[in-house]
Structure 1
Amino acid sequence: RFLYVMEGVNRASAATGEVKGSYLNVTAATMEEIYKRAEFAKEVGSVIIMIDLVIGYTAIQSMAVWSRENNMILHLHRAGNSTYSRQKNHGINFRVISKWMRMAGVDHIHAGTVVGKLEGDPVIIKGFYNTLLLPKLEINLPQGLFFEMDWASLRKVMPVAS
């Protein structure tokens, strides 16, 4: 599949003169296989790879390190999002996921929109984006920011609408 995708990317780039790309999903059952897929994605010319949140936090951080070492962009897909974030009684708010993923070192993340499958309240979504992008967070109760937070030199994460 990676070969076909990159063939299409290259054809579109040549036809338009614009930079094109695709997030090649390297998610697999083991880290060994994830690394193999990531290496193959790099070999076929991709500059960005995607992993699913469900691979776990240690694997995510390992892929963030691999991506830095290999000059690749790492996109995190929120696979299974509604199973853990939409439950009011026992779920994990996406703000927590946003903070964890920023600390883990991902480059992009599906951060929600005001319409679509990751829809949410516009003010709360703005708080997610601020959590991912700002170097320092101030208290902003409508956006769901209950504490000040200084990210110091920790890298930003690019929120992606989906």
Structure 2
Amino acid sequence: QYIAYVAYPLDLFEEGSVTNMFTSIVGNVFGFKALRALRLEDLRIPPAYSKTFQGPPHGIQVERDKLNKYGRPLLGCTIKPKLGLSAKNYGRAVYECLRGGLDFTKDDENVNSQPFMRWRDRFLFCAEAIYKAQAETGEIKGHYLNATAGTCEEMIKRAVFARELGVPIVMHDYLTGGFTANTS
């Protein structure tokens, strides 16, 4: 067993591309049959390279600012059952949670666009639930709409539709969505 430390000059990487970075570091090497036991133990990304990624604003402060909630924990939940509800009943569950005092709700990662609840219908009913709960409580409410899709184009289409509805928060499954979707 051996440990090798490898350093690459930044000029070898496309700015802002996680896909290129991992392809360059592990893509070809992990394909060699002679290196079946090879593992990547650690990866350190220099701040100069990290700054080339133009990701969305994130973190607890952004969440607090969007919801106008400070000085206390944010309260939220994932809607259950995660699968099987119609879009209308799903929206009702969102409304009841938000009206009952939660700050936000979220889709489960499995909730995409199944035959019993298409994404567009879910987005519409959830937006309606948010606005109704806000009107009744006088508080800003949120729901994380899952925009995960089979292609980056479809994911972006869903996110744009959410924005058009006035829903400021979307989510996507970063693990299964892939590196390119994460930075799109």
TM-score, structure 1 normalization: 0.45
Q: Which has the higher strand share?
A: 1
- Structure showing greater radius of gyration is 2
Question: Using CA pairs below 8 Å that are at least 6 residues apart, which structure has the higher relative contact order?
Answer: 2
TM-score, structure 2 normalization: 0.41
